[in-house]
Amino acid sequence: MMVELGHFALVLALMVAVVQASVPLFGTRRGEAGWVAVAGPAAVVQFLLIACAFGALMHAYIVSDFSVYNVAAHSHTAKPLLYKIAGVWGNHEGSLVLWVLILSMFGMALALAGRTLPPVLQARTLSVQAMVGAGFLLFILFTSNPFQRLDPPAAEGQGLNPLLQDPGLAFHPPLLYLGYVGFSMAFSFAIAALMEGRVDPAWARWVRPWTLAAWVFLTLGTILGSWWAYYELGWGGWWYWDPVENAAFIPWLAGTALLHAAVVVERRDGLKKWTILLAIITFALSLLGTFLVRSGILTSVHAFAADPARGVFVLVLLAVTVGGSLSLFAVRAPALQGGGLFAVVSREGGLLFSSVLLAVAAATVLLGTLYPLLAEALGFGKLSVGAPFFNRTFVPLMIPLLLVMAIGPLLAWKRGEGKTMARRLWPAVLAAGVAGGVVLAWGGSHELAAAGGMGVAAWLGAATLAEWARRVFQNSLSDSWRRAVSLPRAAYGMTLAHGGLAVLVAGVVGATAWEAEKVARLHTGESLELAGYTFILTGLETVAGPNYQAERGTVVVRRNEAVVTTLYPEQRRYTHPPQPTTEAAIHSTGFIDLYVAMGETDESGGVTVRLYSKPFVPWLWYGAGLMALGGIVSLSDRRHRVAPPRGV
Helical (H) or strand (E) element with 138 = helix 119-143
Torsion angle (degrees, nearest 10) of CA 238, 241, 245, 246: 140
Q: By C-beta, is 122 or 571 nearer to another protein?
A: 571
* Other beta carbons within 10 Å of 36: 24
Quote the CA–CA distance of 618 and 623 in Å, as a whole number.
Answer: 9
Per rule CB under 8 A, is residue 277 in the interface with another protein? yes
Residue 197 touches another protein, criterion: CB under 8 A: no
Burial class (CB in 10 A: 0-12, 13-18, 19+), 128: buried
Residues between 314 and 353 with contacts to another protein, criterion CB under 8 A: 315, 318-319, 322-323, 326-327, 329-331, 333-334
Q: Which is nearer to another protein, 374 or 563 (CB)?
A: 374
377 binds another protein (CB under 8 A): yes
Number of helical (H) and strand (E) elements in the chain, helices listed first: 22, 10
Distances (CA, A) of 21 to 32, 100, 214: 15, 15, 22
Cα 226 to Cα 239: distance, rounded to the nearest angstrom: 6
How many Å apart are CA 463 and CA 169, to the nearest integer?
36
Q: Smallest distance from the beta carbon of 311 to another protein, in angstroms?
A: 5
The yes or no reply on residue 452 touching another protein (CB under 8 A) is: no
Asked whether the beta carbons of 60 and 13 are under 8 A apart, the reply is: no
Query: In the set 150, 163, 360, 491, which binds another protein (CB under 8 A)?
Result: 163
| Nearest distance in Å: CB 571, another protein | 8
Residue 284 found at the interface with another protein (CB under 8 A):
yes
Residue 312 within binding range of another protein, rule CB under 8 A = yes
Q: How many CB atoms lie within 10 A of CB 629?
A: 17
Which residue lies nearer to another protein by CB, 359 or 432?
Answer: 359
Asked if 485 interacts with another protein (CB under 8 A), we say no
Site for another protein in 505-524 (CB under 8 A): 519, 521
Q: Which of 383, 395, 448, 648 binds another protein (CB under 8 A)?
A: 383
* Residue 605 falls in which region: left (phi positive, over 0), alpha (psi -120 to 50) or beta: left
Q: Is 545 in the site for another protein (CB under 8 A)?
A: no
305 binds another protein (CB under 8 A): no
Q: What is the C-alpha R_g of the chain?
A: 26
Q: Is 154 in the site for another protein (CB under 8 A)?
A: no
- As a whole number of angstroms, the distance between CA 222 and CA 148 comes to 32
Burial class (CB in 10 A: 0-12, 13-18, 19+), 491: middle
The answer to the question of residue 35 lying near another protein (CB under 8 A) is no
Smallest separation, CB 601 to another protein (Å): 10
Our measurement of the distance from residue 43's CA atom to the centroid of its chain's CA atoms, rounded to an integer in Å, reads 26
Q: Which of residues 384-423 bind another protein (CB under 8 A)?
A: 384
Q: Which residues face 608 on adjacent strands?
A: 521
Residue 418: what residue type? Answer: G
Size of the site for another protein (CB under 8 A): 57
Query: What is d(CA 498, CA 492) in angstroms, rounded to the nearest whole number?
Result: 10
Judged by CB under 8 A, the stretch of 99-107, 371-379, 472-480, 622-630 that binds another protein is 371-379
Close Cβ partners of 52 (under 8 Å, ≥ 6 residues apart): 5, 6, 9
d(CA 607, CA 263): 56
Listed ranges 41-49, 127-135, 399-407, 572-580: which one lies at the site for another protein (CB under 8 A): 572-580
Least spacing, CB of residue 214 vs another protein, in Å: 21
Residue type (1 letter), 471: R
Three-class DSSP category at 157: coil
Minimum CB distance to another protein, residue 1 (Å) = 32
Interface with another protein, residue 308, by CB under 8 A: yes
Separation of alpha carbons 442 and 429, rounded Å: 20
Q: Which one of 46-54, 148-156, 288-296, 339-347 is the stretch in contact with another protein (CB under 8 A)? A: 288-296
Q: Which of 582, 583, 616, 634 binds another protein (CB under 8 A)?
A: 582
Site membership for another protein, residue 309 (CB under 8 A): yes
Region of 26-34, 293-301, 415-423, 635-643 interacting with another protein (CB under 8 A): 293-301
Q: Residue 374, interface with another protein (CB under 8 A)?
A: yes
Please say whether the beta carbons of 647 and 626 come within 8 A.
no
d(CA 239, CA 342) in angstroms, rounded, equals: 39
- Per CB under 8 A, the segment of 145-153, 423-431, 558-566, 579-587 that binds another protein is 579-587
Smaller CB separation from another protein, 376 or 541 = 376
Helices (H), 31-91: 33-36, 39-62, 69-74, 81-87
Across 288-301, b (16+ Cβ under 10 Å) vs e yields bbbbbbbbbbbebe
Stretch that binds another protein, among 90-98, 291-299, 392-400, 459-467 (CB under 8 A): 291-299
Q: 624 vs 115, 170, 242, 252, 619, CA distance in Å?
A: 33, 19, 19, 13, 8
Site for another protein in 552-571 (CB under 8 A): 571
Is residue 580 a contact residue for another protein (CB under 8 A)?
Answer: yes
Strands 570-574 and 562-567, sheet pairing: unpaired
315: burial class by Cβ within 10 Å (0-12, 13-18, 19+)? middle
User: Which residue's CB is nearer to another protein, number 323 or number 488?
Assistant: 323
If one asks whether residue 291 binds another protein (CB under 8 A), the answer comes out as yes
**Interface with another protein, residue 300, by CB under 8 A:** yes
Euclidean distance between CA atoms 132 and 177, whole angstroms = 15
Interface mask (CB under 8 A) for another protein, residues 236-255, using x and -?
----x-x-------------
> How far apart are CB 244 and another protein at their closest, in Å?
10
Q: Which is nearer to another protein, 320 or 422 (CB)?
A: 320
Name which of 463 and 511 has its Cβ closer to another protein: 511
Q: Any contact of residue 281 with another protein (CB under 8 A)?
A: yes
The answer to whether 584 contacts another protein (rule: CB under 8 A) is: no
Q: Determine, following the binding rule CB under 8 A, whether residue 579 of this chain makes contact with another protein.
A: yes
467 sits near another protein (criterion: CB under 8 A):
no
Pairing status of strand 562-567 against strand 533-544:
unpaired
Of the residues 26, 142, 156, 376, which one makes contact with another protein according to CB under 8 A = 376
- The nearer residue to another protein, 77 or 601, going by C-beta atoms, is 601
User: Does the footprint of another protein cover residue 598 (CB under 8 A)?
Assistant: yes
The pair phi, psi for residue 547, each rounded to 5°, is -135, 30
At its nearest, how many Å lie between another protein and the CB of residue 377? 5
Q: Of residues 235, 442, 473, 591, which one binds another protein by CB under 8 A? A: 235
Does residue 520 sit in helix, strand or coil? strand
Tell me if 65 contacts another protein by CB under 8 A. no
**Residues forming the site for another protein (CB under 8 A):** 163, 233, 235, 240, 242, 273, 277, 280-281, 284, 291, 295-297, 299-301, 308-309, 311-312, 315, 318-319, 322-323, 326-327, 329-331, 333-334, 370, 372-374, 376-377, 381-384, 519, 521, 571, 578-580, 582, 597-600, 602, 608, 610
